[in-house]
Amino acid sequence: MRIHSTFTKALAVSAVALMSLTACGGSDGGADAPAATGAGSDLGLVQAGTLTVCSDIPYKPFEYEENGKYVGFDMDLVGAIAKAMDLKLEVKDVGFDGLQSGVVLASGQCDMGASAMTITDDRKKHLGFTDGYYDSEQSLLVPKDSDIKSIDDLAGKTVGVQQGTTGKKYATEHVPSDTKIQDYPSDAELFPALQSKGVDAVLQDLPVNLEHTQDGKFKIVAKYKTDEQYGFAVKKDGTEALLKELDAKLAELKDNGQYQEIYDKYFSTK
């Protein structure tokens, strides 16, 4: 999924402080927060007793807000991980560019990033990743009556992408030379641009584009296998114990069937 500018980084860090929201009954870090000797005290958590997670919201079906709570595949999965670790969960909404660049995590604003983030060699230079938890691919979304049938048909047209993502990388490497690539901060701006005909197509992760086909006004005309895996991110250094625990709990959820239950909730075709 889902290069950066100094301005974007500053916004991302500021957003963490200004836009934090507690999910799944998480603590707000007030006076009654657990003491440092509580659960997870050996993991170097930014807030003792709480797993603090940063995510770029919305990005349905992975993370979005519903009835005042953050939900989605990623959100349900980190909620189950936090519970397995005997921790409360707090979710903070931040910009994806600042998250995938490592700025937000390096600043100590959260313990981990959960935002449909593809594991790449470039990101590994400034982030640590858990084992992969979701296999994804890219796709091309267009209006139902569009004459665009493939990436080659984007010649002379404008394709929308989310900045800092593997979707943008794929577009940059594969669209015709006269195609305009238009960046947007998130899907919240990207899809409306397609709806208003500000762009002719959207190239991004398949599950997210699938969400936009449900009313029948838009269709996916191509899928691109990229061997992508999403991983949960942590800051590069000093998180060895946390990373080991996250991987252990993720494996536990897969073994006991909870992972499959959460997966089926969002991706089952039945």
pLDDT tens-place string over residues 119-168: 999 999 999 999 999 988 899 999 999 999 999 999 999 999 998 888 99
Same fold, 6-133+231-267 and 137-227: yes
The stretches in the chain having pLDDT less than 70 are 1-41, 269-270
Using DSSP's 3-state secondary structure scheme, residue 67 falls into coil
Q: In the prediction, which pLDDT does 164 show?
A: 83
Rounded CA-CA distance 160/141 in Å is 10
Q: Which residue is listed with tokens 């006269």?
A: 178
**What single-letter DSSP state applies at residue 34?**
P
pTM exceeds 0.95 for this model: no
pLDDT at 1: 55
Residue 38 has a pLDDT of 55
109 Cβ neighbours under 8 A, 6+ residues apart: 13, 16, 17, 46, 52, 54, 92, 94
| pLDDT value of residue 123 | 94
Separation of alpha carbons 28 and 90, rounded Å = 7
Task: Give the CA distances from residue 25 to residues 38, 66, 101, 168, in Å, rounded to whole numbers and listed in that order.
Answer: 18, 14, 29, 35
CB neighbours of residue 118 within 10 Å: 24
What class is the 137-227 domain?
alpha beta
pLDDT at 8: 37
Q: Which pLDDT does position 227 carry in this prediction?
A: 85
Q: What's the pLDDT score for residue 145?
A: 96
Domain ranges of the chain: 6-133+231-267, 137-227
Fold of 6-133+231-267: D-Maltodextrin-Binding Protein; domain 2 (3.40.190)
Question: What one-character-per-residue DSSP string does 209-266 give?
Answer: HHHTTTTSSEEEEEEEEEEEEE--EEESSS-HHHHHHHHHHHHHHHHTTHHHHHHHHH
- Please give the Cα distance from 201 to 179 (Å, whole number): 11
